[in-house]
Chains A and B, each alone.
Chain A
Amino acid sequence: AQSVTQLGSHVSVSEGALVLLRCNYSSSVPPYLFWYVQYPNQGLQLLLKYTTGATLVKGINGFEAEFKKSETSFHLTKPSAHMSDAAEYFCAVSDQANDMRFGAGTRLTVKP
């Protein structure tokens, strides 16, 4: 079965700094890849997804992620962090329609 590893359970950045959240996956077939965000006391919300085609995927709130097949990675970036970006971020992979596997999550803290 496919799996996801998120490097770093907690990332702290200063407001205005680059955000980089790392995600590596394993899959025996071309994967579908997702980033979801969870704000405090809320459910998950889709940030962006990769299915096929362009490897650089743009999402909401200025986030983007790049699919690198050779590195089996799908890292999430944002050029300039805002206080409102503080949340938990989950990377997910799917190679079967209903079997989506989530990573353990990375909690992002943004310092003023």
Chain B
Amino acid sequence: NAGVTQTPKFRVLKTGQSMTLLCAQDMNHEYMYWYRQDPGMGLRLIHYSVGEGTTAKGEVPDGYNVSRLKKQNFLLGLESAAPSQTSVYFCASSYGPAGVTEAFFGQGTRLTVV
């Protein structure tokens, strides 16, 4: 029973490099989210998706892009990484909107940009 799986778990990037974080869920959830977690700031919403082929901006979307080509996958891209994007990234999915129903989280991706 995998739930929400994030790949990779750790990554170090050089400034200006690009990368894609993959989130996969096996619960047939419509809603998927990407958050970043920074010390003393809790989790902040980057982008989210309310179904296959849809995406929307969250609280801190700048510098990130997302795609939801398949219902079970939600990709987060960094086109040109910056040190300010050093963070722990969490993906979540839910049956209904996360602000109303339970969200299920992956184990996180720790990204360091040097």
Interface check A54, CB cutoff 8 A: no
Count A-B contacts at CB 8 Å. 66
Q: How far is the CA of A41 from the CA of B107 in the complex (A)?
A: 7
Interface check A12, CB cutoff 8 A: no
Size category of the A interface is: 20 to 34
B78: A residues at CB distance < 8 A: none
- Secondary structure at the A interface, as helix, strand, loop or mixed, is loop
Q: How many residues of B are in contact with the other chain, CB < 8 A?
A: 28
* Minimal beta-carbon separation of A29 from chain B (angstroms): 12
Residues 97-114 (chain B) with a chain A CB within 8 angstroms = 97-100, 102-108
- Whether the Cβ atoms of B40 and A44 lie closer than 8 Å is no
Residues 81-108 (chain A) with a chain B CB within 8 angstroms = 90, 94-105
Contact of B103 among A46, A96, A99, A103 (CB under 8 A): A46
Binding site for A on B (CB under 8 A): 4, 31, 33, 40-45, 48, 50, 56, 58-59, 90, 92, 96-100, 102-108
Binding site for B on A (CB under 8 A): 4, 9, 32, 41-46, 49, 51, 90, 94-105
A-B contact pairs, 18 of them (CB 8 A): A4-B42, A9-B40, A32-B99, A43-B4, A43-B90, A43-B106, A44-B43, A46-B102, A90-B42, A97-B99, A98-B45, A98-B56, A98-B58, A98-B99, A99-B58, A102-B42, A103-B42, A104-B40
